[in-house]
Structure formats: structure tokens, C-alpha cells
Amino acid sequence: MDVLTYLCQYVRSPLAGDTAALTLEAAGDIPLPPSNPSTPGPRTDQERNIPSPAPEPTVTIIDREAKSFSFLIRPESFLEIPQQDVPAPFREEQPEQISRKGLLEALHDGHHRAAAFIAGELLKACNDTDHETIFRLLYVRLACLQIVGLHAQAAQESKCMQDVTLAFFRDRGRHLMPWELRVLVVRLQAIGFKDWRRGIMSYYELAREARFEGWRAPVSDRQMWTVRLRDLGLRVANVLIETKDLQGAIQHLKTLSTDREDVGVTKTRMALLYLRCGDVDTAKRCFDLNDEHSRFLHPLCTMAEGDFTTAANLWTAVKSNIDEATDEAAVVDQAIAICKLYDGQVHEVRRHAQPKLTNADSYRHERSWKVLCSHMVLYAD
């Protein structure tokens, strides 16, 4: 048999595609073609100039250099907390005396001025690479300054953080700063730099991140990011109201959805924002009278409509379900006094407001009294 016949039978062999030895066994006693020394055989990898596989690289783990946040803990960044600008309830004890109790105990007991002082002292002595502790203390410091009414000082101290959207504050795609601190800093820096557009843009940047994180988060964490996203939407509306863009705020609020689990709190906040815009009818549609979160909204809407007699009766009904020793009772008393004032019953104002004048046991009482005084000035005019 010649070579051509042999090759044809090799191609027709059912074992074609296997090794040559199996193919020859299937061919039976077919004689092999005579070997030809001049016929070149299969070439090796070296003859084909194919490089040998490279050895596996040696992996060396190098520790990443820790970031330094020394610019956040400079002593000159923390201003001295003034005494004259702090309401009386927060001036009862010196922060130096309360500092012996510790920060957590000061917060638990309601000593917010002392807590702000302690947080500032701890920040000055903090390790500049311990970003978790630094950010926690910064949040306590700024939040407590706002609680005691020192908004301007909190805004001034927030400037040291510069732009919190920079890549410096990120590590492996995650932001190092807690979410609550970032939201707080956005508002404070807008106040400090007097740039509300910057605040709105920063809120939208946070909203973009919240959408992305909610998309890639596990199912158990998606509700958290949804709540954060709606909170940012309400904060944008609040900034628009503060910039006197009431029509823009109303249009923005209409784009927000409230068909979620925490619908009670969200609708209550939306109703308050609509009231600030002057849209009483829409505010009424945002809450349910049977909802616990909305028990104050019905009398507020009635006051906004100018029906102070009915509003006073509604506030009295609300007060009947509140403990007299709580701060809520004090706020309701001030609301009743305002209704009586605008209803022409000036003699009734003293009966609702006077008991709280000598009981300045909380910051809310003092703020409520200031609100009442401002209404009395308007009424006198």
C-alpha cells in the first residue's frame, strides 16, 4: 500500500483525533511507510523559538502607609466655647468639672456644652492616624455645638475638613467618614462659606453615592440606603426654602416618594416643609390624623389657616394626652399661648406661659418662650 492510501485510511479511522499509536492499532496489519531519514520530524519548543513559561512571581505584601489626619486635630481649629452665647440651662456646671465623668456620661446626662468641650480636648490629644476616633469625636463636637445654639461656631470649625468628597477621604472605594458626619458637614460648610449652591450640590453627590451603594448592597442593607436617600431629598427641599426658593422647594417635594416603611416620619417632615412653603392644603394631605407622628400637624395647619380658636382647642386636646412633666407639654403650652394671643385673649396668655417662665429646666422651654415673645412683638405691631 502506498503512502496516499495509508493517509486516506488514517483520515477515515474512527479514532482520528486521538494519538497516532491508537490510529495505527486500528489500521491492523497495514504496513508503515518506509522511514525517510531526510523527512523532518516534529520540532521541539526550543526549535520553534517558543519561550518557556515564566516562573510564578513572588508576591510581597507591603503595608499601606496610614493616612495622616493631623489637619483635623490642630488645636487652633477648636474655638473656645463662650459662656454668654450659651443658654442658661447649659451654663449650670463648668465643663472642666464634668469632664471627670467622661464623654459618654456627659452626653447621657444632657450636658451638651460639656460634651463639646470634652470632645475638643480629646481631639487635641488624638492619634492623627486613628481616623475612626477622630471622626466620631468630630461628630460629637459639631452636633453638641448646634444643640447649644452655637451654629456659627460649628460652621467655622467645620471648615477645617475642606472638601469631604475628595479621594483622600476614601480607601479602596469606601468613604472613611461616617455618613451622619458627612451629612452634617455639608450643611455646616454651606453656612460657614455662605454658599447654599455648594450645599445642594453636595447633597446630590451624596444621593448619587447612596443610589450606588444601595444597588450593590445586600438585601438586608438596601432599606437603610433607601431611607438615607429620602432623607437627602428632604434636606435639599429645606435648603431651597432657606434660600427663599419656595416654588422650587414645592416642585422638588412633589418628586419625592413616600410609599415606604417609614412613611409616617417621612410624611410628617414633608408636611412641615409644605407648611414652611405656605402650601397648607398639600400639607394636610401628607399626614393621617390617626398617626402618632402627626398629632401636632393638625393644630399647626389650623394655625396656618388663621383659625386660632379651633387651633387652641386642638392643642388643648393634644395636651390632655401628654404628661405634664415632659418637654412636649411645655411646647404645647406655648402653642396655646400663641393661639390665645392672636385670638385676642391676652389675659389667657399669662396663664399658659407664666408657669414655664420660672421653670427653665430645658433648652426647649427657653426657645419656646423666645418664639412666643417674637409673636407678641408681631401682635403689638
Give a yes or no: residue 54 inside a domain: no
Contact residues for 336 (Cβ-Cβ < 8 A; gap 6+): 312, 315, 316, 319, 352
pLDDT of amino acid 292: 73
Q: Which domain holds residue 129?
A: 68-157
The stretches of 217-307 forming alpha helices (DSSP H) are 219-242, 246-254, 263-277, 280-284, 297-304
Coil vs helix vs strand at 202: helix
Q: Are 104 and 149 in contact (CB under 8 A)?
A: no
Domain boundary among 228, 259, 290: 290
DSSP label at 326? S
Judge if 272 and 299 occupy the same domain. no
What CATH number is given to the structural domain containing 277?
1.25.40
Is-above-0.85 flag for pTM?
Answer: no
**Mean pLDDT along residues 331-358:** 77
Give a yes or no: residue 229 inside a domain: yes
Judge if 83 and 143 occupy the same domain. yes
Domain boundary among 290, 310, 342: 290
Alpha carbons 70 and 133: distance in angstroms, whole number: 13
According to DSSP, the residues that pair with 104 across neighbouring strands are none
Give a yes or no: residue 339 inside a domain: yes
Domain boundary among 266, 290, 314: 290
Residue type, 250: I
pLDDT higher than threshold 60 for residue 360: no
Give a yes or no: residue 50 inside a domain: no
Single out the residue of 136, 29, 2, 6 nearest to residue 73, CA to CA: 136
Q: Which of 99-103, 218-222, 285-289 has the highest mean pLDDT?
A: 218-222
75-79, 121-125, 150-154, 367-371: segment of lowest average pLDDT: 367-371
Give a yes or no: residue 79 inside a domain: yes
Judge if 282 and 302 occupy the same domain. no
Contact residues for 22 (Cβ-Cβ < 8 A; gap 6+): 15
pLDDT, one tens digit per residue, over 237-283 is 999 999 999 999 999 999 987 655 556 778 888 999 999 999 999 99
Residue type, 21: A
pLDDT higher than threshold 50 for residue 24: no
Give a yes or no: residue 248 inside a domain: yes
Judge if 3 and 21 occupy the same domain. yes
Give a yes or no: residue 114 inside a domain: yes
Judge if 224 and 258 occupy the same domain. yes
Judge if 116 and 133 occupy the same domain. yes
Overall number of domains in the chain: 4
Judge if 119 and 148 occupy the same domain. yes
Judge if 286 and 299 occupy the same domain. no
Judge if 255 and 207 occupy the same domain. yes
pLDDT of amino acid 17: 42
Give a yes or no: residue 57 inside a domain: no
Judge if 324 and 281 occupy the same domain. no
